[in-house]
Amino acid sequence: MKTTIRTAGGVAILDLKGKITIGEGDVALRENIEKLLEEGKKQIVLNLAKVSYMDSSGVGELVGTYTTVNNRGGKMKLLNLTEKIQDLLQITQLLTVFECFSDEEEAVASFS
Amino acid sequence: MKTTIRTAGGVAILDLKGKITIGEGDVALRENIEKLLEEGKKQIVLNLAKVSYMDSSGVGELVGTYTTVNNRGGKMKLLNLTEKIQDLLQITQLLTVFECFSDEEEAVASFS
Amino acid sequence: MGEDVSQSVEVVIANQFEMIDLVQSVLDDLTELVDFDEETVHWMGMAMREALNNAIKHGNKLDPKKHVRVTFDLFPETLEIKVLDEGDGFDTRTLPDPTEPANLLKPSGRGIFYMRKFMDRVDINARKGKGTEVHLVKTRPTAGA
Amino acid sequence: MGEDVSQSVEVVIANQFEMIDLVQSVLDDLTELVDFDEETVHWMGMAMREALNNAIKHGNKLDPKKHVRVTFDLFPETLEIKVLDEGDGFDTRTLPDPTEPANLLKPSGRGIFYMRKFMDRVDINARKGKGTEVHLVKTRPTAGA
Ligand SMILES: Nc1ncnc2c1ncn2[C@@H]1O[C@H](COP(=O)(O)OP(=O)(O)O)[C@@H](O)[C@H]1O
Ligand SMILES: Nc1ncnc2c1ncn2[C@@H]1O[C@H](COP(=O)(O)OP(=O)(O)O)[C@@H](O)[C@H]1O
């Protein structure tokens, strides 16, 4: 997985690209989130548009970072879920947990 | 393997596409050649431009059909060898056996 | 296709996550020989990868000297995949449901749940000293036709 | 990569030409983990396919109930592929040279010749009653570096 981090309206947007699976990407995501929190950036959007594959470990990692961000007084939201990722979250009833957007501006605006 | 047969200047040109390997294409080639010979078409060009893969059975099939055509008083020539097929024929010293062309008009003209 | 199981493949991999892609390739090639649609192949692949993840991590405990054996059998009615590790097994009766409110925010515990969603049958055979075998079954679309 | 053979894979296929692509996929995935260039991978694949063709056709005599076992071992210096059939073997000392004028127009007899051209070492172990094992060895480009 490759991550590009940018900022829009005070919100950190992580563009994730590639696989988030047990061998790949899961640790990288956690580390990136940790760094943002340490820098005091607590409004976070994960852009999943370019995530090609996710397994249960990847889903677990989303849940784990969501909890971490919450516990540190921040908020993490999801942007541009692919159909397959949407299915994965739906099946495990996580769509009710995550706030999801298909429009970046809306996602950013939702924090204010 | 897919074969399209067309005629140019009295010469039958077979455009071969796909694999010529032990499980695929080798028999089809032989049958097509047989049909042409039965129809009295004895000037034959095999266009290999779109042949993606050939193994020793495919090479053997080229040799076999070459001999068949010769024995029946015809001539079979090769057109547009890919680099890999050229290597295969080179290594087994078959480039000295086959007449090969990289220009279709030249190939057709060579029969007259 | 003949009456008996002629289209079967067995793959034994070293106990490493990097090897999973390779088993996926075998599944992809095998499903190309038959009649599953793309969507089905995708989710079946995911179920298999979950079983492989578990075999490598929970079963073989990441020991690189251990192996995972995967067998594919193409029967007239089903495609069956078996994933066998060299671990000590586990109690399949006490698996928590990841969709219960209390488990919703747990970072793990969704693998077997996904397998069951994406396959038509999942049998888990955990035999102490003989490793765990996860048996995944998908009915072929043309079965019975 | 560790000191010992951790990256090894074994594939057992039913005795059918259709299964060859699947073994090719395993080789492709395995070579992606290492340092061979595309050209080398192509010819290595061809050598392996020739060995598989022979195992299925000459060794197992197209019997769909027989199997071919392929093992891949990635050593620090080499990639080694073994192709084992259930046939009766043959006399490797009397193989005709396909480039001799008398053989040039023969429609067969080039498979082993190609294997030898494309691999760094080819050992053929034909043991009556135990099948034929073709052992293909390619040195890794970074070997010794
Ligand atoms: N092959 C296996 N060998 C031993 N234990 C296993 C195996 N597969 C699963 N388990 C046990 O079942 C639990 C649930 O597995 P799973 O639903 O895949 O979720 P996760 O792997 O995220 O924990 C694992 O945490 C593990 O304790
Ligand atoms: N695995 C095998 N088992 C038995 N005989 C074999 C095997 N491989 C090769 N042979 C014998 O060696 C001969 C030469 O093989 P090869 O060079 O691949 O050419 P071809 O397969 O076109 O005949 C075959 O014709 C066959 O008699």
Would you list the DSSP string of B49-102? EEEEEE-HHHHHHHHHHHHHHHHTT-EEEEE---HHHHHHHHHTT-TTTS-EES
Measure the CA–CA gap between D77 and D3, rounded to whole angstroms: 11
B56 in ligand 2 pocket by Cβ < 6 Å?
yes
Partner residue opposite D50 with nearest CB, options B55, B63, B84: B55
C85 in ligand 1 pocket by Cβ < 6 Å?
yes
Which helix (H) or strand (E) segment holds residue C9: the answer is strand C8-14
Tokens at B56, concatenated: 């020793």
Cβ separation of B57 and D108 shorter than 8 Å?
Answer: yes
Cα(C3) to centroid(ligand 2), Å:
29
What is the rounded average pLDDT for all residues in chain A?
A: 95
Looking at residues C91-112, what average pLDDT do you find?
Answer: 95
User: Which pLDDT score is estimated for A27?
Assistant: 80
Measure the CA–CA gap between C66 and C44, rounded to whole angstroms: 25
User: Which pLDDT score is estimated for C98?
Assistant: 97
B105 by DSSP, 3-state: which?
A: helix
The pLDDT > 70 percentage for chain C reads 94
Which helix (H) or strand (E) segment holds residue D13: the answer is strand D8-14
User: Which pLDDT score is estimated for C143?
Assistant: 61
Partner residue opposite A97 with nearest CB, options C50, C104, C110: C104
Per-residue pLDDT of chain D (145 residues; tens, 9 = 90+): 333 445 889 999 999 999 999 999 999 999 988 889 999 999 999 999 999 999 999 999 999 999 999 999 999 899 999 999 999 999 888 899 999 999 999 999 999 999 999 999 999 998 877 899 999 999 998 765 4
The residue whose C-alpha atom lies closest to atom 6 belonging to ligand 1 is C58
pLDDT digits over A41-63, tens only? 999 999 999 999 999 999 999 99
Cα(D58) to centroid(ligand 2), Å:
6
User: Which pLDDT score is estimated for A82?
Assistant: 97
Instruction: Looking at the CA of residue D107, tell me the nearest atom of ligand 2.
Output: 22
Measure the CA–CA gap between D144 and C5, rounded to whole angstroms: 45
Which range has the worst mean pLDDT, B50-54, B96-100, C29-33, C108-112? C29-33
- This prediction has a pTM of 0.84
Cβ separation of A92 and C99 shorter than 8 Å?
Answer: yes
Neighbours of B2 (CB within 10 A): 10
ipTM: 0.81
pLDDT at A66 over 80: yes
Measure the CA–CA gap between C53 and C60, rounded to whole angstroms: 10
Residue A42 neighbours by CB under 8 Å, 6+ apart: A36, A69, A72, A73, A74, A75
C83 in ligand 1 pocket by Cβ < 6 Å?
no
Measure the CA–CA gap between D16 and D103, rounded to whole angstroms: 29
